[in-house]
Chain A
C-alpha cells in the first residue's frame, strides 16, 4: 500500500490487513514505553490546511511511537500564506526528503492531487466532503473489538451526511463487509442519490431502532448561517440523540461519534456518559489504526 487516499477503492482484504495489524499496534500502546523501531529513519510530515486536534495529534503520536522523525506544518505560518501553490509545497516537501505526508485539506481530492504529483506516500487525514479513511477504519476497529464481528450489522449514520467525509468513508468501508447502512438527517443535509448507497429512514426513531451501531455526526454550526438548518435548539429536538430518542436505542447498541462533539446539539451529555458510548475509546483506537497505516505505507516491498 503506497498511499491511503480513501476506503472507496480499498478492498475488503486490504481493510482487514490494516485492522488486524492495528490490533497488534494496540498492544504497543498498552506497554509502558510505547516505542517501536518500525519507522526509524523515516520522515513523516503533517500538513494540515484545516484545524484539527485529535486527528493531528493522533497521527503525530502514532508516528512518534514508531520512531519516525515528524514535523508538522501549520498552514497559518507557512509559505501558503505567501501564495505558494499546493504543487510547489509538494515539490518542496519532496526536496526535504519526506517519506510520508499526512494531509488534511478543505478541498475534496487534494490528497489525490498530491499523490499524482509526488514520489512519497500520502495519507488522507480528511479531504473536504470526500473521505476521512482513518476515522472510518478506527470506527470499524472499535465496532469489531466491541461486537466481535464486522459483518452483517445494522448501522445507522445520523446527521449531516451531505458534508460528512466520515459518513462517506464509513459507508464505503462498512458496505464492503455486507453491513446494512441507514442514514437520517434533515433533508437539506442529505446528498442526492444517497438512497443508492444506503437506506434513508423517514424518522429518527426508525433510524435508530434495532441497530447494532449508531454513528452520530458532528454538525458544523455555520450550516445554520447558510440556511441549511434553522437553529441549534431545533436541530437537537428533531435530529439530536437526546433523552427522548434514547428510549428507542437498545442498551447493546454502540453509540459512536467522530468528535469533537457539540454537546446538547448532536448528542446529550448523559448519553455520552453511557457505557455503550465509545467516543473516547475511538480516540485511543485511532492511534493504533494510524500506526498500522503508517507501517503499511512505508513497507517498500509492499509498494
Chain B
C-alpha cells in the first residue's frame, strides 16, 4: 500500500494539473482525493509536494541488444535503464543477432523479459527475413507470439515493391510498419549531416534528402495501401513537411522523433565527438525548429528514445569507424522538459501526450491513466532539480550518451509499475 501525498497529477487528456493524494493498493490506484488519511503500519508514504506525477512512459523504439550483443546491453540492463528514465513499457527493435524475424525469437525475447525485466518489454518483429530486405518475415506468426509492430530499423527497405507488400500484409494483422527512412544510395559512406559542419571537418556528409525521399515514397505507398505507416526518428524539416501534407490528405501515418533531434545540432560533432554520431545524423538549427513546431502542431505524434547502446571501446575509435547511436532512456524526460517546457513554454501536459498516451495508441495499447481503478503505473518527477549528465551516474551498461556533460532540468525521482516501486528517491529498487 502506497500513499503519494500532495501530488500534482498531470493526466494529459484534459490538460489540467490536479492537486491530490493518490492511494495505491496492490497493483491498482484505489483512490485519488485531497488529504487521504490511512492508518496502516505497512503504508509507504511518498511526499510529492512540488513534484509532478505522470502516467509512466512508453518507448516504441529502443535497442536492448539481446541476443547477440550483450556486451553493449541486455534485456535486464536495458530495462533498468528504462526504469531510471520513467519508462515501464519498451518496444525493442529486431536488429539483434540472430534478428527477431521469426516466432521463436519473439518467444525468446518475451520469455527472457518475463524472467529478468521488471517492466513490460514488447518486441518489434523484422519486416524482412534476416533484415535483408528481400523476403517478408512470418509476420502473422510473430504477431501471434506478441510483436506490436514490424520494422527493419537500422536498415531501410529499399525495394519499394517489397515495402508496399509489407504495408498491405501488416494490415491483416493490425500492426504498424515502422519505417527507417534512409536512401542508402544517397547516404553511402556518410558520417554526419551534409552541410556546413561536414565541410569544415572534412567528413563525408549524408544529405537530408536521404531521409526525405524515402519518407515521400513511403507516404505515397501508405496512401495507396491505407495501411498504418509509422515513420520513426524523423530528423529533417522536409520530412516533417511531407508528413504534415500526408496527414492533411488523410494518410494513415504517425511519426516520432527523438530527444536529441529536438535539442542538438550537427555542431555537436565538432571535435570528432563519436557520441554525437547517430543515424539519422544530428541536423541543423532550422531542422530543430521545424521539429519543435511540428510537435506543437501535433504533426509529430510521440517521442521515441532510439536508445542505442554501444560499448565504450566501439565509440573510442576514429570517427569513421564508430557505430551510430546514443543511449536515450535516462535523459529523455529531462531533455524534453528542458527544451520544450522550460525553454519553449510548452504545456506540461504535452509531455504526457508525447511519452505516455500517443506511443501506446500507435501500437494499439490502452493508455496508462492516473485514475481510480486503473493500474498504478506512474512516475514522479522533480521539475526543479538541475543535474549534469555524468558517465558514472548512467544505469545502462553502455555510456555512449550524446548528452554527457550537458546540464538538464527535471529528474525522474520515482517509478511505480503495477503498484511496485521500481525507483524511489533516485535509487533503482528492482
State in angstroms the CA–CA spacing of A87 and B274 once bound together. 14
Known interface pairs A86-B318, A131-B202, A192-B205; A112-B272 also in contact (CB < 8 Å) = yes
Question: Measured between alpha carbons, how far is A129 from B199 in the docked complex, in Å?
Answer: 9
Q: Is the CB of B204 within 8 A of A113?
A: no
Write the chain A residue with the least CB distance to B193: A192
Q: Which residue of B lies closest to A8 (CB)?
A: B200
Q: Tell me whether A178 is interfacial, beta carbon within 8 Å.
A: no
Chain A residue nearest in CB terms to B320:
A107
Chain B residues lying within 8 Å of A170, measured Cβ to Cβ, are none
Determine if A109 and B201 form an interchain contact, defined as CB atoms under 8 angstroms apart.
yes
A38 in contact (CB, < 8 A): no
By the criterion CB–CB under 8 Å, are A107 and B321 in contact?
yes
Partner of B204 from the list A87, A112, A129 (CB cut-off 8 Å) is: A129
Least CB separation from B197: chain A residue? A193
Task: Enumerate A166-186 residues with CB–CB distance to B below 8 Å.
Answer: 168
* Closest B residue to A164 using CB positions: B202
Q: Is A127 an interface residue (CB 8 A)?
A: yes
Check: B412 CB closer than 8 A to any chain A CB: no
Please indicate the chain B residues that have their CB under 8 angstroms from the CB of A194 in the complex: 199
CB distance from A38 to the nearest CB of B (A): 31
Asked whether any CB of chain B lies closer than 8 Å to the CB of A110, the reply is yes
A219 to B196 Cα, complex, angstroms: 23
| Chain A minimum-CB-distance residue to B199 | A191
Contact A105 B203 (CB under 8 A): no
Question: Separation in Å of the A164 CB from the closest CB of chain B?
Answer: 9
Cβ B205 vs Cβ A128 within 8 A: no
Tell which of A85, A112, A197 touches B271, judged by Cβ atoms closer than 8 Å: A112
Given contacts A108-B272, A129-B204, contact A193 B318 (CB under 8 A): no
- A165 contacts B by Cβ under 8 Å: yes
Q: Please give the distance in Å from B199's CB to the nearest CB on chain A.
A: 4
CA distance A108 to B202 in the complex (A): 6
Q: Is B198 in the interface zone, CB < 8 Å from A?
A: yes
Q: Which single member of B194, B271, B321 contacts A192 (CB below 8 Å)?
A: B194
When distances are taken between beta carbons in the complex, the residues of chain B under 8 Å from A85 are 313, 317
Q: How far is the CB of B392 from chain A (nearest CB, A)?
A: 20
Give min CB distance, A101 to chain B, whole Å: 15
Bound-state CA distance A196–B199 (Å) is 10
Nearest CB of A to B275, in Å: 13
Contact yes or no, A130 B201, CB < 8 A: yes
Could you mark each residue 106-134 of chain A with 1 if its beta carbon is under 8 Å from any beta carbon of chain B, else 0?
01111011000100000000011111000
A165 → B minimal CB distance (Å): 6
Q: Mark B173-205, 1 if CB is under 8 A from A, else 0.
A: 000000000000000000000111011111111
Residues of A within 8 A of B321 (CB): 107
Cβ-based interface call for B316 (8 A): yes
Q: How many residues of B contact A (CB 8 A)?
A: 20
B319 at interface, CB cutoff 8 A: yes
> B195 and A128: CB pair below 8 A?
no
Cβ contact within 8 Å between B202 and A128: yes
Residues B195 and A192 in contact, CB atoms below 8 Å apart:
yes
- Whether B202 pairs with A127 at a CB distance below 8 angstroms is yes
Chain B residues with Cβ below 8 Å from A105 are 318
Contact A113 B272 (CB under 8 A): yes
A112 to B269, CA, bound (A): 13
* B-chain residues with CB within 8 Å of residue A131 when the two chains form the complex: 202
| Contact assessment for A191 and B198 in the assembled complex, using a CB-CB cutoff below 8 Å | yes
Shortest C-beta distance, B426 to chain A (Å), equals: 32
> How far is it, in angstroms, between the C-alpha of A199 and the C-alpha of B428 when the chains are bound?
57
A107 touches B319 (CB 8 A): yes
Is B272 a contact of A109 with CB atoms below 8 Å? yes
Decide yes or no: A129 and B202 within 8 Å by CB, A109-B319, A112-B272, A113-B272 being known contacts.
yes
Q: How does the 8 Å CB contact mask read for B14-43 relative to A, with 1 for contact and 0 for none? A: 000000000000000000000000000000
Contact with B196, one of A109, A110, A130, A196 (Cβ below 8 angstroms): A196
Most buried by B among A109, A117, A196: A109
Question: Shortest CB–CB separation between residue B257 and chain A, in angstroms?
Answer: 23
Contact across chains for A87 and B316 when beta carbons are under 8 A apart: yes
A108-B202, A131-B202 in contact; A113/B317 too (CB < 8 A)?
yes
CA distance A127 to B195 in the complex (A): 19
Q: Which residues of A contact B320 (CB under 8 A)?
A: 107-108, 128
Nearest B-chain residue to A6, judged by Cβ: B202
Structural contact, A192 and B319, CB atoms closer than 8 A: no
Q: Contact between B317 and A86 (Cβ–Cβ < 8 Å)?
A: yes
- Report how far A168 CA is from B272 CA in the complex, Å: 16
Interface residues of B in 181-238 (CB under 8 A from A): 194-196, 198-205
Give the interface centre of B201, B271, B318, B321 by most chain A CB atoms within 10 Å: B318
Chain A nearest CB from B179 CB (Å) reads 26
Q: How many Å from the CB of A254 to the closest CB on chain B? A: 25
A108 contacts which chain B residues (CB < 8 A)?
201-203, 272, 319-320
Closest residue of chain A to B203 (Cβ to Cβ) is A108
B195 partner residues in chain A, CB cutoff 8 A: 192-193
A181–B155 Cα distance when bound, in Å, is: 41
Contact (Cβ within 8 A) A130 B271: no
A289 to chain B, nearest CB (A): 21
Report how far A165 CA is from B200 CA in the complex, Å. Answer: 10
- Which residues in A have their C-beta under 8 angstroms from that of B316? 87, 117
Residues of chain A within 8 A (CB-CB) of B319 are 107-109, 113
Tell me how far the C-beta of A92 lies from the nearest C-beta in chain B, rounded to whole angstroms: 16
Q: Mark B312-345, 1 if CB is under 8 A from A, else 0.
A: 0100111111000000000000000000000000
Give bound CA distance, A126 to B194, whole Å.
Answer: 21
Some 14 contacts from A to B, beta carbons below 8 A apart, are: A87-B313, A107-B318, A107-B321, A108-B272, A108-B320, A109-B201, A109-B272, A110-B318, A130-B203, A191-B198, A192-B205, A193-B195, A193-B199, A194-B199
Q: What 4 A-B pairs come out closest when comparing CB atoms?
A: A130-B202, A109-B272, A129-B202, A107-B320
Give A contacts to B, CB under 8 Å: 8, 85-87, 105, 107-110, 112-113, 117, 127-131, 165, 168, 191-194, 196-197
Give me the interface of B with A, judged by CB distance under 8 Å.
194-196, 198-205, 271-272, 313, 316-321
